[in-house]
Amino acid sequence: MSDNARPRIEVTIAAPVDVVWDALRSKDKIRHWMGWDYEGLPGEIDLIFFTDTVENASARTLTLHGGDEFRLEPHGEGTRVTLTRVPRGDDPDRDAYYDDVTEGWVTFLQQLKFAVERHPGAVRRTLSFVGGNDNAVHLIDALDLADIAAGTPFQRNLLGEDVAGDMWFRSGHQLGITVDAWGNGLLIVSSADPSPSKPNGVAMAILSTYDLDDAQLAELDSRWRPWWTERFPGGA
């Protein structure tokens, strides 16, 4: 497969290349943008970013053990981060989850951008929810977020909590919004209807929070978890 046919994910981050590179190579910083909090996250970071990788620090490139390639380049006063996916078709087991992994990188690069721009060096605490979507619920609609427009601040009652923020990004399958009530946090949601390749469909939400104590995080979880499990069974 030619490079032109390999999916590319790009984000531009308002920070110098050296700062973004450090966020990509420091384990302590990766854990505050990669994925979500769970017991196995440190091992996942080791596997993805530090096992059988090829790093060129001077060129600011990193090839992961699976073949995905990061490249960091100056872009104005900031940094363009380009992730080029490994070619499809080389590994049937990998191909079965190819699109899911691509969507995951869309999420995680936006979380990288958010961490570097909005919370450099800060501790992130997350809640994450994943489940089936047998009833073809459109998650963005179900949360009353469909009419949020780029560049326009919004206010909502989000599952019983009054919040304000703005759109962080929107892609073909995902929406990210900032949430002031979570310490200027970030919510990323996506959903897909049942299909031949995914018979039960899927829905996902990652809530990135800052400066919430244990009680506040537990209260947030108590609002989201019952709502989620009722609509998207089979997940966490």
Tell me whether residue 236 is in a domain: no
Tell me whether residue 7 is in a domain: yes
Tell me whether residue 99 is in a domain: yes
- The total domain count for the chain is 2
Q: Is 189 exposed, middle or buried (0-12, 13-18, 19+ CB in 10 A)?
A: buried
The answer to pTM > 0.75 is: yes
- pLDDT per position as a tens digit, 126-166: 999 999 998 889 999 999 999 999 888 999 999 999 999 99
Joined together, the tokens standing for residue 153 give 């601040």
If asked whether residues 76 and 28 sit together in one domain, one would say yes
Q: Which of 86, 118, 150 lies at the terminal end of a domain, its last residue? A: 118
Domain range for residue 169? 125-231
Task: Please report which helix (H) or strand (E) contains residue 17, including its range.
Answer: helix 17-25
Cite the beta strand spans of the chain per DSSP E. Answer: 8-13, 54-56, 61-63, 69-75, 78-84, 125-131, 154-158, 161-165, 167-170, 174-179, 185-192, 202-209
Residue 3 confidence (pLDDT): 56
If asked whether residues 193 and 219 sit together in one domain, one would say yes
If asked whether residues 132 and 91 sit together in one domain, one would say no
Distances in Å between the alpha carbon of 49 and those of 25, 65, 68, 112, 160? 8, 8, 11, 14, 38
Q: What is the CATH number of the domain that holds 162?
A: 3.30.530.20
pLDDT of residue 224 exceeding 60: yes
